[in-house]
Each structure stands twice: as structure tokens, then as C-alpha cells.
Structure 1
Amino acid sequence: MAKHKIYTMSFSSVYPHYIKKAERKGRTKEEVDEIIHWLTGYSQDELEKQLDLQVDFETFFEEAPKMNPSRTMIKGVICGVRVEEIEEPLMQEIRYMDKLIDELARGKAMEKILRR
């Protein structure tokens, strides 16, 4: 079975779109990075290294230092699918990230986005 196209896309090719989406709504790159740190456990230096290496999404999530256990609290619809019902683990991780960035762009407070 062929891998989903997004798995082989470089994370660094999508990252600028996350930032643009946030900035269009008055949010910042730093907030996007904070979400990524919270979700994956990457430090800023580690995140920048992954971006420089242009790793694909599969590698990005496989090499994540510590996926946040609170990520399972992320609920809702993204791309027409409920994130909590996605069965493929990697796709669910990607959609968790998409959902968090979407919440940021919609003006949700960081404390709520990070499930504090």
C-alpha cells in the first residue's frame, strides 16, 4: 500500500504555510513554534535542525523527542474529519498539528490551545 502523499512531504515546505496562516490573523511565528514545541517536544534548536534537514512529515514525527500526552485532548474537525476518530497514528499526529494551528489562527488563547 502506498504511503499518503503528506507523509513524504517535507515538513519545511509546510511550516511557512503554518506561519502565514497564523500571521494573517495577527498571531506570530513564535506562537506557531510554541505549539510545535508543546506537541512534539522539540526544542527551538532541534526544530530548526529538522527544518534545515528538510525531513518529511513521517521522519519529523518519528524523531520527535516526546509527543505530549495531552494531545489526545485535542478534539474537533479538521479537513472534514474528526481528529479523535482518525485511526492511522501518523495522520492523527499531523492533523493534531493542523488543528492546533487552526485554533491559533481563529484567535483561541494559547492556554486553551495547549490544553492547560
Structure 2
Amino acid sequence: QNMVATYALHYPEDYDGNDKFTNEPLAGVPRKLNLNNLTFHLPFDKVEYEPEQFPGLIYRLDYPKVVCLIFGSGKMVITGARHKDEILEAVEIIKDELADLL
């Protein structure tokens, strides 16, 4: 069975990682993402972005084998995961890859 999850990439200006008390990502004002810029910083063979066709960037991960739809609003949809652990792992991978760009 495939799972679908949504996640918002919210980073305040002084983001430093996780909340010290709950170990949850800090939430703040969502950042607008420049999807054109992201296409040049992510592996080109795993990214599709054609704003005339679809408003989101399509990013296919090899492991876990999921597809992430990243939107300019900072929201992300993860699909194709078989277990919750795969979703959480995909979120961490994408947050790490985008950390320098946000």
C-alpha cells in the first residue's frame, strides 16, 4: 500500500535546526521557494520542473523510493512510500539538501 504525506518547509529567519524541548522542527513564516533555482542545485536527472505544465517541482529520490512534489509556497507532498519511516527519512533528506538554499 502506498502512502501520501504533506509537509511544510517552514523556516524562521533564525532557524537553527530542531526545537530543544520537543525535538520537532521549528515552525515559522513559510519561505517562498525559487523553484527555478532549486532545479540547478538538485541532481538534474532526478528533477523535473516545467511551470507551464505543473506548478510544482518533481523530485524523485532513489532511497527511499519516493516522489516529492515541492511547491513555491514551501509545501511538499511525498508519495510512493510504503511505510511512515520512509516518509520521515525522505523529509530529512530533503531538508538537508535544501538547508543551504532556504
Tell me whether the two structures share a fold, i.e. TM-score over 0.5: no
Question: Relative to total residues, which structure has the larger helix share, 1 or 2?
Answer: 1
If the length of structure 1 is used for normalisation, what is the TM-score?
Answer: 0.28
If the length of structure 2 is used for normalisation, what is the TM-score?
Answer: 0.30
Question: Relative to total residues, which structure has the larger strand share, 1 or 2?
Answer: 2
